Structure 1
Amino acid sequence: MQHLVIMPFLLPLLAGVLLILPPIQNSITRQRIFAVGSSMLVLVVSSGLLKEVMSQGTQLYALGNWSAPYGIVLVADPLAALLVLLTSILALASILYACAGEDETGMYYHTLILLLVAGVNGAFLTGDLFNLFVCFEILLIASYALLIHGGGKHKTQASLHYVILNLVGSSIFLFALGILYGMLGTLNTADMAIKLQTLDSDETTLVKIAGLLLLIVFGLKSAMLPLHFWLPRTYAAASAPVAAMFAIMTKVGIYSIFRVHTVIFGDFAGDLANIAQFWLWPIAVLTLIAGAIGALASQNLKMLTANMILISVGTLLTGAALGREDASGASFYYLLHTTLVSAAMFLIADLIAKQRGKAADRFVAARLMKQRDLLAGLYFVAAIAMVGMPPLSGFIGKALLLQSAHTGAEMGWVWSSILFAGLASIIALSRAGTTLFWRTTGNTADTDGNPVHITQLMAIVFLLSLSPLLVLFAGPITSMTHEAAAVLHNPELSVRALLPVLGE
């Protein structure tokens, strides 16, 4: 069990490499079996890690037995373990869906998905900023290739913008890391939190600049306004299982904002305490508004789903802007919900597009879908969950966030922006459903349409079924999310996990 912490990173990395070697690489059937088996194994290991963390506390893994802050350290606290499990769930669903034929449109799909999983899990588990940068690059390289998987003009154009923006973000990240290492002599998260308390006033300006540069980098990754313009086109251009997997990508940026600006630049950072809060409030509200307007203006279901992700980013940033333990716990519950449901909606949009002929998923009249009732049922469940209506998990997530606003000013900003975005979501998704399923140009189904493959249905049902489960087990799940927030906001727990000697 001592190596359990590194397994969610190591297993998909090794499985991805083995997939490109014969005899597995020579047969698409063997690739699918191996990829599904590997993703299920990662899911089991991630579940075991979460159980271990919740029962035994934060788990520390020092590679090569080099003690922090001098070596590479992985830290599995409740937040990291929850998000690793979430990533593993998405990976299994994306691989299952692609087994219906999407993985044959290009080379190395399963390898790239598993490498992406390794990068994302590494980002959640790493205990220092330099290895966070390394994991960012692993997941980004895999995402570049996945975005153009299958080819096409729109994918190439979207990938060009995506690559350029992320290269700029990586450059800014390196500048920020250079400044921080030059001023503090370390990039270990806990060690930085300690050394910030002893900085001279002359040194705080440069460190503050570096901290705000990190906010820009993570804002680009999470697609917060005004760095959000890449997301709708990029996600809409990606193939369905890739877009579903990309639902976790913005959450890596959100996680990094919570981690860095709570543990390092949190309440106990002296003159540098809460340097991001001044910016997070307007950014969160404006991101919500931008996402709502984008949703209302969307012309197809994939673009609408991408803008719904923007709304979720703004909602999560609202929790970060509040900067309190209860708000963070509510945000983490909502993060689990929105990632799963958004991924399911991307998959549903693809099935709808394949059964509407040339109209695809655009909001125009088209011939009757071959399996309209099945797709309408899946869409209805996903739409109810996305807008946050009872009895599904979106309602609980938003209710917890609204409850975390305490003062009158906070309630005014939080309630008005979240409820406005929710109203816009209801209007946009209602219009979309009405057009897609009721506005038909004939009564005869297109017999040449693509029927839903069993693995596609399994992937969607698997993701959607987790929303009612989040409701049925809301008690223990909210306990886990609030425990994750408690560890994050308690400097003693955050520091002691990495530096047991210095933290005492």
Structure 2
Amino acid sequence: MLQHLPVLPLLIPLLGGILLLLPPLADDRNRQRIMGTVLALLQLIVAVYLLWTVHQHGSRVYAMGDWQPPFGILLVADRLATLLLVLTAILLLCVQLFSSAGEDEKGKFFHPLLMFQTLGIQGAFLTGDLFNLFVFFEVLLIASYALLIHGGGAQKTLANVHYVSLNLAGSALFLFALGIMYGTFGTLNMADMQQKAAQIHSDDMRLASVGAMLLLVVFGLKSAMMPLHFWMPRAYAVAPAPVAALFAIMTKVGIYSLWRVHSGIFGDNAGELANIAQPWLWPLAWLTVVIGIIATLASQTLRELTANLVIISVGSLLLMVALNTPEATASGLYYLVHSTLATALMFLVAGLIVEQRGKAEDRFVQARPLAQPVLLGALFFMAALALIGMPPVSGFIGKALMLKAALAGNQAAWVWPPILLASLAALVMLSRSGGTLFWRARGDHPDDTRAHPAQLAAVILLAIIFPVMVVFAGWITDFAQLAAAEMQQGMVLNLPGGDDA
């Protein structure tokens, strides 16, 4: 059974999603909720166990159907992939709990779509092949199209049109890039490509460069890198709260792909193609943070503000990708985990606020008082501290690690100003929004709507993780450093021991 462990994170959401579409689960909302929660817990247990196994015994490589690399479908569970599997599983569990309070009643296929969305995300993290990365991208995108429009409405429809149009264009570019890569490398296996990158014939060098830059555009679109970020703020701001919380990790799939491709395949050992994206990544990362700061200061709702803070986190991570040192990658991994959980928490808190403020929803205007101002205020304060990066929560550690990595890489002048200015902008806007949402109340009779216990369980579970990340910061940092070192060395090409398939 253990040799099949790497494929379980894909089988659980795949089979679970299919079961949720079939009777008797499809006809009973409560059964769907129970089954969805059980599947999410199982996914988390498997992900944690796989992470521990990889940490103790090294990367595990799984060849589907026993087709040996570089020809078959290869799954690679290393430290980087398993860390993000655990992160995804945590988000899925919290989203499953939160949506079980009533959000899932607005659409018939909500729980199966969550499973298929998770399947795409997990597959993107586990795949060792560029073509299968494209396939899993399409799986997660198709599910996200339906989840974004869940519940209906003109704003969701408009945002979905933009979202679908841009991502379809990105998928077309991805296919063009894959054709070029296969024509020049003769393979799409990432480990095989990394070995062959330095041996590309001079006649194919320009074509390979075009393919590499096309992949930069594709992953830039997926990660919301400037100027390809315009689809993201509106889509995230109008999505249902649990959907937006799960979407918090989707931009990180783009960052992960940049690490795998441009720090792995086209890394330091790629000959003439080495670090081909670096001259472009620096200004684009810097501009992404700047645009995020400007959009943050102009935000009119809490969900819009949170979406723009996602852009800032993407820009900060792009700076670490551009720096391209083991220290930068390790600090980026720590910050990636923290920022994903922080934005997911704020999206869920915004969902609770929307339910209790009536027609004003989460707009920064005067409205009736909240039914649970103390509880929601405490949760908002925790999420705000995490997003700003202030002690004692883990965001402070993540940003300090990134600043230290920039100093060690002699790039402090490029990295420190945008990160520090972004923290200042987040502090200003979250202080302003908190004052408006919790203090500028009109009237003495709040609505009777109160947070459901399942919603509170999801939000509190996320909030607890931040002090846990502080307590175990040393272990997480060490793990991230090992993951960064593995990524610099590249994926394993041969099956270990020949018996893992």
TM-score by length of 1: 0.97
Give, in angstroms, the shift of residue 120 of structure 1. Answer: 0.3
Matched position secondary structure for 2:61:
strand
CA distance in 1, matches of 2:82, 2:267: 22
Give, in angstroms, the shift of residue 496 of structure 1. Answer: 4.6
- Counterpart check, 1:208 vs 2:209: yes
Q: Deviations over 1:90-128 (max 9, x none)?
A: 001001000000000011100000100011000000000
Indicate if the aligned counterparts of 2:76 and 2:127 stay in contact, CA closer than 8 A: yes
- Counterpart check, 1:38 vs 2:39: yes
CA distance in 2, matches of 1:402, 1:433: 28
CA distance in 2, matches of 1:62, 1:394: 38
Q: Deviations over 1:341-395 (max 9, x none)?
A: 1001001001111111111100001111111111000000110011000000000
Tell me which amino acid in the other structure corresponds to 1:266: G
Tell me which amino acid in the other structure corresponds to 2:133: L
Cross-structure match for 1:454: 453
CA distance in 1, matches of 2:108, 2:8: 26
Cross-structure match for 2:127: 126
Matched position secondary structure for 2:381:
helix
CA distance in 2, matches of 1:375, 1:206: 54
Indicate if the aligned counterparts of 1:68 and 1:499 stay in contact, CA closer than 8 A: no
Cross-structure match for 2:445: 445
CA distance in 2, matches of 1:445, 1:220: 46
Indicate if the aligned counterparts of 1:280 and 1:321 stay in contact, CA closer than 8 A: yes
Cross-structure match for 1:483: 482
CA distance in 2, matches of 1:413, 1:304: 25
Cross-structure match for 1:190: 191
Give, in angstroms, the shift of residue 27 of structure 1. Answer: 0.6
Work out the percentage of aligned pairs sharing the same amino acid.
56
Cross-structure match for 2:299: 298
Indicate if the aligned counterparts of 2:356 and 2:447 stay in contact, CA closer than 8 A: no
CA distance in 2, matches of 1:500, 1:48: 21
Indicate if the aligned counterparts of 1:190 and 1:499 stay in contact, CA closer than 8 A: no
Cross-structure match for 1:63: 64
Matched position secondary structure for 1:75:
strand
Give, in angstroms, the shift of residue 409 of structure 1. Answer: 5.7
- 197-206 or 392-401, which moves further after superposition? 197-206
CA distance in 2, matches of 1:497, 1:335: 29
Q: Deviations over 1:135-159 (max 9, x none)?
A: 0000000000000011010000000
CA distance in 2, matches of 1:498, 1:432: 53
Give, in angstroms, the shift of residue 495 of structure 1. Answer: 4.1
Cross-structure match for 1:116: 117
CA distance in 2, matches of 1:374, 1:203: 61
CA distance in 2, matches of 1:184, 1:487: 22
CA distance in 2, matches of 1:92, 1:107: 19
Indicate if the aligned counterparts of 1:69 and 1:499 stay in contact, CA closer than 8 A: no
Indicate if the aligned counterparts of 1:190 and 1:498 stay in contact, CA closer than 8 A: no
- Counterpart check, 1:341 vs 2:328: no
CA distance in 1, matches of 2:60, 2:496: 12
Alignment of 1:145-156 (within 5 A): 145-156=146-157
Alignment of 1:413-452 (within 5 A): 413-442=414-443, 444-448=444-448, 450-452=449-451
> Cα distance 1:253–1:499, how it changes in 2: closer, same or farther (>3 A)?
farther
Give, in angstroms, the shift of residue 499 of structure 1. Answer: 9.0
Tell me which amino acid in the other structure corresponds to 2:478: S
CA distance in 2, matches of 1:170, 1:6: 25
Alignment of 1:92-103 (within 5 A): 92-103=93-104
Aligned length: 497
> Cα distance 1:127–1:408, how it changes in 2: closer, same or farther (>3 A)?
closer
Indicate if the aligned counterparts of 1:20 and 1:108 stay in contact, CA closer than 8 A: yes
> Cα distance 1:235–1:497, how it changes in 2: closer, same or farther (>3 A)?
farther
Indicate if the aligned counterparts of 1:284 and 1:317 stay in contact, CA closer than 8 A: yes
Alignment of 1:23-422 (within 5 A): 23-406=24-407, 410-422=411-423
Give, in angstroms, the shift of residue 308 of structure 1. Answer: 0.5
Cross-structure match for 2:466: 467
> Cα distance 1:337–1:139, how it changes in 2: closer, same or farther (>3 A)?
same
CA distance in 2, matches of 1:383, 1:41: 30
Tell me which amino acid in the other structure corresponds to 2:367: A
CA distance in 1, matches of 2:22, 2:241: 26
CA distance in 1, matches of 2:355, 2:105: 16
CA distance in 2, matches of 1:239, 1:389: 28
Indicate if the aligned counterparts of 1:58 and 1:497 stay in contact, CA closer than 8 A: no
- Counterpart check, 1:10 vs 2:11: yes
Matched position secondary structure for 1:3:
helix
Tell me which amino acid in the other structure corresponds to 1:291: G
Give, in angstroms, the shift of residue 464 of structure 1. Answer: 1.1
> Cα distance 1:472–1:130, how it changes in 2: closer, same or farther (>3 A)?
same
CA distance in 1, matches of 2:310, 2:153: 24
Give, in angstroms, the shift of residue 447 of structure 1. Answer: 3.2
Indicate if the aligned counterparts of 1:107 and 1:149 stay in contact, CA closer than 8 A: no
CA distance in 1, matches of 2:19, 2:492: 37
RMSD of Structure 2 on Structure 1 (CA): 1.2
CA distance in 1, matches of 2:40, 2:124: 18
Tell me which amino acid in the other structure corresponds to 1:67: Q
CA distance in 1, matches of 2:324, 2:495: 23
Indicate if the aligned counterparts of 1:184 and 1:195 stay in contact, CA closer than 8 A: yes
Tell me which amino acid in the other structure corresponds to 1:89: I
Give, in angstroms, the shift of residue 445 of structure 1. Answer: 3.2
Indicate if the aligned counterparts of 2:248 and 2:344 stay in contact, CA closer than 8 A: yes
Matched position secondary structure for 1:5:
helix
CA distance in 2, matches of 1:489, 1:193: 10
CA distance in 2, matches of 1:441, 1:447: 12
CA distance in 1, matches of 2:410, 2:264: 26
Indicate if the aligned counterparts of 2:61 and 2:496 stay in contact, CA closer than 8 A: no
Give, in angstroms, the shift of residue 84 of structure 1. Answer: 0.6
Q: Deviations over 1:279-336 (max 9, x none)?
A: 1111111111111111110000000000010010011001101000000000000000
Q: Deviations over 1:15-71 (max 9, x none)?
A: 000001111111101000000001100110001100010001010000111110010
TM-score by length of 2: 0.98
Matched position secondary structure for 1:74:
strand
Q: Deviations over 1:178-220 (max 9, x none)?
A: 0111111100001111122211212110001000100100000
Give, in angstroms, the shift of residue 408 of structure 1. Answer: 8.5
Unaligned stretches of 5+ residues in structure 2: none
